[in-house]
Amino acid sequence: MFEDEVYEVSRDEFKGFMDQIKPDSFDHINLDYDNYREIKLVSKDGLRHFSSIKQLPNDDDIHYYIYDMPNDDERQEAKMVRKITLGSQEDVKAFFEILSKIQGEKEHD
């Protein structure tokens, strides 16, 4: 499909990478090729290609790539992200019951 699979990352890894780059340190370049679309994220000076998002036309299959790291002055502290995996319907039910209880307590404060 795409020739740069070696640089491909998951959506979560891509988001974590992009969260580390200051928003005013990169530009978006939207490109339409014959067989896919690409959004390139490049440094403001245009010299470095940080990452890309590629999608085939009419396809929900999106691919994420990281090519170059930002300089220190282009970085910001990444936000901590927690990922919770619930393995059964009972776990999901218990999770939402706890969440509802916490939200109910906050509304009464």
pLDDT computed for residue 78 by the predictor: 74
Pairing of strands 8-9, 49-55: unpaired
Domain residue limits, the chain: 5-78
Q: Which pLDDT tens digits describe the chain residue by residue (109 residues)?
A: 566 668 999 998 999 999 999 999 999 999 998 888 999 999 999 899 999 999 987 777 899 999 999 999 999 987 776 778 888 999 889 988 988 888 887 666 5
Q: How far apart are CA 72 and CA 70, in angstroms?
A: 6
Phi-psi region of 106 (alpha: psi -120 to 50; beta: other; left: phi over 0): alpha
Q: In what order do the strands lie in the sheet with 26-32?
A: 8-9, 62-66, 49-55, 37-43, 26-32
pTM: 0.69
Structure tokens at 83: 């990922």
